[in-house]
Structure 1
């Protein structure tokens, strides 16, 4: 669990105040919103890879079975060379 930064503390005079920083896990979220208003979400406590993104898109395609418009930015998972080609779905 992330801890708030240590902004103030008491330390005995002459001693150095030391706090060990703990790095929390990062929650990643990937989602799709359909024209019906329905949401499809995936939450991961690890990095999202291009391959995971590909399989997420395949799950979206299986859900709707209609023409699909996908809007992407240049995130590394969208341009990964090791993800599988989607082609005509």
Structure 2
């Protein structure tokens, strides 16, 4: 389940206007993900990601690496209860 949530968040952050140079806070990342999901929906975000990878593969790969790094601190599995 966490993997699906992270994938969805990655697509939404990818299509957002946030840039690596902004060094966004976790809160800014969460807000961008929420805004893009509300604006485009999950299928719309996925479609825009696919378009960018088709049109600009080199740039898209670098952006997706950044997206995944940003989401490491935001979307993480909850600690296991013992």
Q: TM-score range by the shorter chain?
A: 0.3 to 0.5
TM-score (norm 1): 0.33
Q: Which has the higher contact order (CA 8 A, sep 6+)?
A: 2
Give the strand-richer structure, 1 or 2.
1
TM-score (norm 2): 0.35
Give the helix-richer structure, 1 or 2.
2
